[in-house]
Amino acid sequence: MVRYSFLSLLRNALSYHENWPQAWRSPEPKPSYEVVIVGGGGHGLATAYYLAKEHGITDVAVIERGWIGGGNTGRNTTIVRSNYLWDESAALYEHALKLWEGLSQELNYNVMFSQRGVMNLAHNQHDLRETARRVNANRLNGIDSEMLTASQVKAFCPVIDLRAGGRYPVLGASLQRRGGTARHDAVAWGYARGADARGVDIIQNCPVTGFIIENGRVQGVETAKGPIRARKVGIVAAGHSSVLAEMAGFRLPLQILPLQALVSEPVKPIIDCVVMSGAVHAYVSQSDKGELVIGAGVDHYVGYGQRGSLMVTEETLAAICELFPLFRRMRMLRQWGGIVDTCPDASPILSKTPVEGLYINCGWGTGGFKATPGSGHVFAHTIAQDRPHALNAAFSIDRYQTGYLIDEHGAAAVAH
Amino acid sequence: MLLIDCPYCGPRAELEFSYGGEAHIVRPKDPEALSDAEWGDYLFMRKNTKGVFLERWCHSHGCRRWFNVARDTVTYEILAVYEMGSEPPALPERNLV
């Protein structure tokens, strides 16, 4: 792996940037590996990276049906924060946020992590009470979080209209200053490059069509490029988790729902923080290219179409126009959808499965991007040690039998 | 946006309806007799079929009646609409991976 630095940039400038080596190889799959990861999104690639780096397991393949980072990793609104309510989630998301803070240096790849501050708005008395409760819970867990009054909201984000046309008055907000955004493609590419350098094979355009299971133990996967044997298999497939679980013969408590986002034409810097509102199903930030990045709520039916319903777009933009009247005349450039795997308690599943040697990381629903480094880190531990890391022990699939649910619908901040 | 053919009111836009998830899940007659795993399966586990999926919809801003729909979850094409309590009609196999 060529280390990226000012000197390497200078050296390659002399040859007109025509001699940069590929960031990762595209090998043909070997007949067998120690670990196969199904799914080459951010979480899957991070898992492979930490398996190699933290656990010395380098005989790993990441198998991706399309191209890496082409699913939800490249379709989210890039928001990173850790202000979750319950102790278990706070610890997991904060673990991820701490990894984010050193990620560009760790990967020698600029993931453009920008801690510009994330505001979650409160529009009525109930919102205010819930927000205060979550801020207090965050602070007890050592997570930076503060309560803003309406005038402090206006000072932090001057373009917001506190009256919001009378429909969505802003009474206050929570603010996590360490939250922000990151460039989502770079996260997939950075982890892919780091994993590849440590010997991980990244195999793209290779759908998994089944699992090889003998005597209740996984022995590998069937793929479009033939069978690949493996001692252990991790499923990190987001919207296709239920399809894969069915192939392996167990069930998941998910609903697969389309979630959409859109970007505007690029404009000069106008909003330098992230504004979210769970109550009106809208969140907005501005990318480094100048586009407003706007996220919506989910479509409420099962769908694999990777597109969102126009009625949801309309509802979201109506709320954005009330909160930011100066955006009313902006034109939208692109709209797209991802298919998200939502759990009944809006918390993820990082768990062993009924099949020996088969592990699953799913259920991140509308908010998985922010957890990418932490998710990969603890899931690699779960696979390598065959037992959960302390941080994901509570996120087992068994909680849907024991009733130990971790309800994060409030902190998830996206309507579903 | 989906155009859903309510069996009682005719075709209406998706925004008049609310979604009830997977159809034909039968509430166990004697919950006390179930293990935690069986009860958890009834409460939480869902199919999410990629392909033809049987689901419930309610015409909540119309006649407010529930009914079943067979819909392709990839193309979103609605293949059949049928009443609560009745068996699904014969449908083409088109489960995809």
Residue A19 within any structural domain of the chain: no
State the smallest CA–CA distance between residue B4 and chain A in angstroms.
13
Find how far residue B88's CA is from the centre of its chain. Answer: 10
pLDDT band at A411 (very low <50, low <70, confident <90, very high): confident
| pLDDT value of residue A321 | 93
Condensed to tens digits (0 to 9), the pLDDT of residues A223-267 reads: 999 999 999 999 999 999 999 999 999 999 999 999 999 999 999
Residue A21 within any structural domain of the chain: no
Residue A161 within any structural domain of the chain: yes
Q: What is the DSSP letter of B33?
A: G
| Averaged pLDDT, A356-370 | 97
State the smallest CA–CA distance between residue B21 and chain A in angstroms.
7
| pLDDT value of residue A305 | 92
Containing H/E element for A265? Answer: none
Beta carbons within 10 angstroms of residue B13's beta carbon: 12
Range of the domain at A78: 32-117+180-253+344-416
Does residue A172 share a domain with residue A260? Answer: yes
Condensed to tens digits (0 to 9), the pLDDT of residues B25-75 reads: 999 999 999 999 999 999 999 999 999 999 999 999 999 999 999 999 999
| pLDDT value of residue B97 | 45
> CA torsion angle for A252, A299, A409, A182 (degrees, to 10)?
100
- Given a cut of 90, whether residue A190 has pLDDT beyond it is yes
Structure tokens at B54: 């049987």
Measure CB to CB from residue A309 to each of B14, B21, B50 and give the nearest one: B14
Q: Is A249 left (phi over 0), alpha (psi -120 to 50) or beta?
A: left
Counted across chains A and B, CB pairs separated by less than 8 A come out at 70
Does residue A276 share a domain with residue A260? Answer: yes
Does residue A264 share a domain with residue A162? Answer: yes
CB contact under 8 Å between A252 and B45, yes or no, is yes
- Given a cut of 60, whether residue B96 has pLDDT beyond it is no
| pLDDT value of residue A266 | 97
Does residue A202 share a domain with residue A338? Answer: no
| pLDDT value of residue A139 | 98
Of the listed ranges A154-158, A162-166, A343-347, the least confidently predicted one is A162-166
Q: Which CATH number goes with the domain that contains A376?
A: 3.50.50.60
Does residue A52 share a domain with residue A102? Answer: yes
Task: For residues A213 and B90, give the distance between their C-alpha atoms in angstroms, rounded to a whole number.
Answer: 33
- Chain A residues with beta carbon closer than 8 angstroms to that of B48: 242-243, 252, 254-256, 302
CA dist list (Å): A259 to A137, A365, B54: 28, 9, 21
Q: What is the ipTM of this complex?
A: 0.93
Of the three residues A317, A342, A367, the one that is the final residue of a domain is A342
Task: For residues A283 and A150, give the distance between their C-alpha atoms in angstroms, rounded to a whole number.
Answer: 18
Mutate to test the interface with B, among A251, A301, A400 (most CBs of B within 10 A): A301
Q: Give SS3 for A262.
A: strand
**Number of domains into which chain A is organized:** 2
Q: Closest Cα to residue A360, out of A273, A249, A238?
A: A238
Beta carbons within 10 angstroms of residue A19's beta carbon: 10
Does residue A185 share a domain with residue A315? Answer: no
pLDDT band at A415 (very low <50, low <70, confident <90, very high): low
- Chain B residues with beta carbon closer than 8 angstroms to that of A243: 48, 50, 97
Condensed to tens digits (0 to 9), the pLDDT of residues A102-158 reads: 999 999 999 999 999 999 999 999 999 999 999 999 999 999 999 999 999 999 999
| pLDDT value of residue B95 | 53
| Averaged pLDDT, B74-93 | 91
| Averaged pLDDT, A332-357 | 97
Residue A25 within any structural domain of the chain: no
CB contact under 8 Å between B21 and A401, yes or no, is no
Does residue A338 share a domain with residue A392? Answer: no
Residue A389 within any structural domain of the chain: yes
Does residue A396 share a domain with residue A266? Answer: no
Q: Which positions ≥6 away from A234 have C-beta within 8 Å?
A: A35, A36, A37, A38, A44, A47, A358, A359, A360, A361, A379, A383
Q: What percent of chain A has pLDDT over 70?
A: 99
Q: Are strands A349-352 and A79-80 parallel, antiparallel or unpaired?
A: unpaired
pTM, two decimals, is 0.96
Does residue A105 share a domain with residue A89? Answer: yes
Beta carbons within 10 angstroms of residue A236's beta carbon: 29
Does residue A266 share a domain with residue A247? Answer: no
Task: For residues A416 and A365, give the distance between their C-alpha atoms in angstroms, rounded to a whole number.
Answer: 9
| Averaged pLDDT, A9-18 | 95
Task: For residues A186 and A195, give the distance between their C-alpha atoms in angstroms, rounded to a whole number.
Answer: 14
Structure tokens at A309: 């319903």
Amino acid present at A401 = Q
Q: Which residues pair with A35 in a beta bridge?
A: A60, A232
Query: What DSSP line would sit under A181-247, residue for residue?
Result: E--HHHHHHHHHHHHHHTT-EEE-S--EEEEEEETTEEEEEEETT--EEEEEEEE--GGGHHHHHHH
State the smallest CA–CA distance between residue A251 and chain B in angstroms.
6
Task: For residues A333 and A26, give the distance between their C-alpha atoms in angstroms, rounded to a whole number.
Answer: 33
Q: Which CATH number goes with the domain that contains A152?
A: 3.30.9.10
Of the three residues A292, A319, A342, the one that is the final residue of a domain is A342
State the smallest CA–CA distance between residue B78 and chain A in angstroms.
12
User: Does B3-26+34-83 carry CATH code 3.30.2270.10?
Assistant: yes
Rounded to the nearest integer, the mean pLDDT of chain A is: 96
Measure CB to CB from residue A242 to each of B40, B48, B75 and give the nearest one: B48
Amino acid present at A172 = G
Measure CB to CB from residue B74 to each of A253, A300, A305 and give the nearest one: A305
Answer for the pair A396, A347: CB distance below 8 angstroms, yes or no. Answer: no
Q: Which positions ≥6 away from A379 have C-beta within 8 Å?
A: A43, A47, A50, A234, A236, A350, A359, A361, A392
Of the three residues A303, A323, A342, the one that is the final residue of a domain is A342
Could you give the angle at which helices A372-385 and A87-101 cross, rounded to 10 degrees? 110
State the smallest CA–CA distance between residue A37 and chain B in angstroms.
18
Q: Are strands A274-277 and A79-80 parallel, antiparallel or unpaired?
A: unpaired
CB contact under 8 Å between A309 and B44, yes or no, is no
| Averaged pLDDT, A317-326 | 94
Residue A270 within any structural domain of the chain: yes
Answer for the pair A115, A177: CB distance below 8 angstroms, yes or no. Answer: yes
Q: Closest Cα to residue A274, out of A79, A72, A73, A74?
A: A79
Does residue A350 share a domain with residue A331? Answer: no
Does residue A211 share a domain with residue A101? Answer: yes
CB contact under 8 Å between A401 and B36, yes or no, is yes
Condensed to tens digits (0 to 9), the pLDDT of residues A80-109 reads: 999 999 999 999 999 999 999 999 999 999
- Chain A residues with beta carbon closer than 8 angstroms to that of B44: 253, 344, 400
